[in-house]
């Protein structure tokens, strides 16, 4: 006997079952999106914090301070009689001037330098952060004797350059200056302000 095709009901789709799977799929996508944006991207940001930035880029828009002659300084041999070299100096006598120092200078000729004057004779320490050119750094005690020289310091270095002995003055000149003029530890300085 042939069945009447009109009486056969097509099999009904179990719509609540499929809707449940669609809902779960959408929920997984939403949770995955929030997990990615809140956790994985934060990990990427943490990694980027460790990226080294070229220090030259950090200061490329900073204007170079002009040299201002505020006195003269003589380097004298340890015999206290023979003058080695005389230079013009800019003074750094307060905290702001000492903090600025020779930062952002693009050049320093052999007839110029900077004299840092401190309130107390004690161990001092400098670094080369934001300093573009190599320097010779001389620590000088209250007797005006050079007690420590750092030659041709590394530009932009944040390594400490300690005096190792008490100092009340520090002289900074262009890198290689002490070798060019034969200045050594034990030699003296004498200076006058304008």
Distances from the Cα of 50 to the Cα of 36, 43, 47, 77, 191, angstroms: 21, 12, 6, 48, 45
Task: Output the average pLDDT for the chain.
Answer: 86
Q: Which residue has the tokens 């940001």?
A: 45
Residue 132, pLDDT score: 93
The CA radius of gyration of the chain, in Å to the nearest whole number, is 35
Percent of the chain residues topping a pLDDT of 70? 82
| pLDDT 10s digits, 59-96 | 777 888 999 999 999 999 999 999 999 999 999 999 99
Helices (H) and strands (E) in the chain, counts: 5, 7
Q: Check: CB of residue 175 under 8 Å from CB of residue 134.
A: yes
Note the pLDDT of residue 18.
77
Q: Are 164 and 40 in contact (CB under 8 A)?
A: no
Q: Which of 194, 185, 193, 192 is nearest to 167 (CA)?
A: 185
φ, ψ for residue 125, nearest 5 deg:
-150, 135
Residue 122 has pLDDT above 90, yes or no: yes
Q: Do residues 189 and 171 touch, judged by C-beta distance below 8 A?
A: yes
- pLDDT reported for residue 47: 52
Alpha-carbon torsion (45, 49, 50, 52), positive or negative: positive
The pair of structure tokens assigned to 91 is 């003074």
Is a pLDDT exceeding 60 seen at residue 5?
Answer: no
């Amino acid at each position: 006997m042939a069945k009447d095709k009109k009486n056969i009901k097509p099999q009904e789709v179990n719509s609540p079952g499929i809707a449940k799977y669609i809902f779960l799929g959408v929920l997984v996508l939403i949770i995955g999106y929030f997990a990615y944006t809140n956790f994985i991207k934060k990990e990427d940001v943490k990694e980027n914090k460790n990226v080294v930035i070229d220090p030259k880029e950090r200061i490329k828009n900073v204007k170079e301070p002009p040299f201002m002659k505020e006195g003269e300084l003589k380097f004298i041999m340890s015999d206290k009689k023979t003058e080695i070299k005389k230079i013009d100096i800019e003074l750094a006598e307060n905290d702001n001037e000492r903090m600025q120092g020779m930062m952002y200078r693009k050049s320093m000729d052999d007839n110029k330098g900077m004299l840092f004057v401190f309130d107390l004779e004690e161990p001092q320490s400098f670094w080369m952060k934001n300093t573009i050119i190599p320097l010779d750094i001389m620590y000088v005690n209250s007797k005006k004797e050079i007690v420590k020289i750092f030659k041709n310091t590394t530009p932009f270095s944040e390594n400490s350059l300690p005096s190792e002995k008490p100092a009340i003055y520090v002289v900074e000149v262009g890198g290689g200056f002490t070798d060019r003029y034969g200045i050594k530890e034990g030699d003296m300085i004498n200076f006058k302000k304008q």
